[in-house]
Amino acid sequence: MRTVIFRTAAPYLTSLMILFSVFVLLRGHNEPGGGFIGGLIAASAIAIYGIACGVAPVRRALYFHPMAISGFGLLLSALSGILSVFFGVPFLTGLWTTPHILGVELALSTVMVFDIGVYLVVVGSFTSIGLALEEREHG
């Protein structure tokens, strides 16, 4: 599978896919998409990079252990729910704020943070499985 074409194209493909996955994640609330699908796309992107260039560069590029990314995602999701404590509403109630930054109205919400957590859990878990399997393959 490690053809020259694949190896050359893989980094561009991967970065495009990851960019796309973030796009899918953020548009999820109003258009098809969301954390889950975004996470799967990013996991595929990383898998492509791993198959093309080997596991070690992927691990270097990720910097954190994929399982740690997953754990952070779960923590983030849980924390986004706990924020509701300070507003006296039940756990995981969506809280919204729409600040104007540089003249643009931005809709920020705990729901979005929750979805980012989902994204990270999915990316982290699947990447760590994929990488572990590939590692055994070549190692």
Partner 1 sequence: MADASQSLTLLSLFLPFLAAAVAPFLTRLFRHNAAWILAVAPAFIFVHFSGYLQAVAGGNAVSGGYAWIPALDANFSWYLDGLSLTFALLISGIGTLIVLYSGGYLKDHPHQGRFFSFILMFMGAMQGLVVSDSFLMLFVFWELTSITSFLLIGFDHAREASRRAALQALVVTGGGGLALLAGLVLIWHVTGISELSQLLASQDLLRASPFYMGALLLVLGGAFTKSAQFPFHFWLPNAMEAPTPVSAYLHSATMVKAGVYLLMRLNPVMGGTAAWETILPIFGGTTLIVGTLLAVRKTDLKQMLAYTTVASLGLLVMLTGLGSDKAVEAAVLYLVAHSLFKGALFMVAGTVDHETGTRDITELGGLRRAMPITFAAALLSALSMGGVTPFFGFLAKEEIYAALGFAGGWNSIFTIVALVGNGLMFAIGFAVALIPFLGGRVETPKHAHEGPVLLWLGPVVLSVTALVAALASNASHHYISTPMASAVAGSEIHVHIGVVPHLGLPFALSVVTMALGVGAFLFLARGRAAMVWLLDAIGWGPDRGFDQAMRGLLRISSHVTRIVQCGRMEVYMTVTFVILALAIFVPMTVYGEWPAVPELPVLPFYEWTVLAIAVIGLAAVVYAQDRLTAIVSLGIQGSAVALLFMLLGAPDLSFTQFMVETLSVVILALAMTRLRLTPSDHRPTGEMLLDASIAGACGLGLALLLLRITQMPFDSTLSDFFDEYAYVIAHGRNIVNVIIVDFRGLDTLGEIAVVMVAGLAILALIRVRAPKPAATHAKQPAPKKELVEG
Residues that bind partner 1 (CB under 8 A): 24, 28-37, 40-41, 43-44, 47, 51, 67, 70-71, 73-74, 77-78, 81, 91-92, 94, 96, 107, 109, 111, 114-115, 117-118, 121-122, 124-126, 128-130, 132-134, 136-137
Beta carbon of residue 139, minimum distance to partner 1 (angstroms, whole number): 11
Of 30, 12, 8, 3, whose CA–CA distance to 107 is shortest?
30
Residue type, 114: F
Q: In whole angstroms, what is the distance from residue 134 CA to residue 27 CA? A: 32
Q: Which is nearer to partner 1, 61 or 132 (CB)?
A: 132
Beta carbon of residue 103, minimum distance to partner 1 (angstroms, whole number): 21
Residues 100, 103, 109, CA angle at the centre, nearest 5°?
Answer: 30
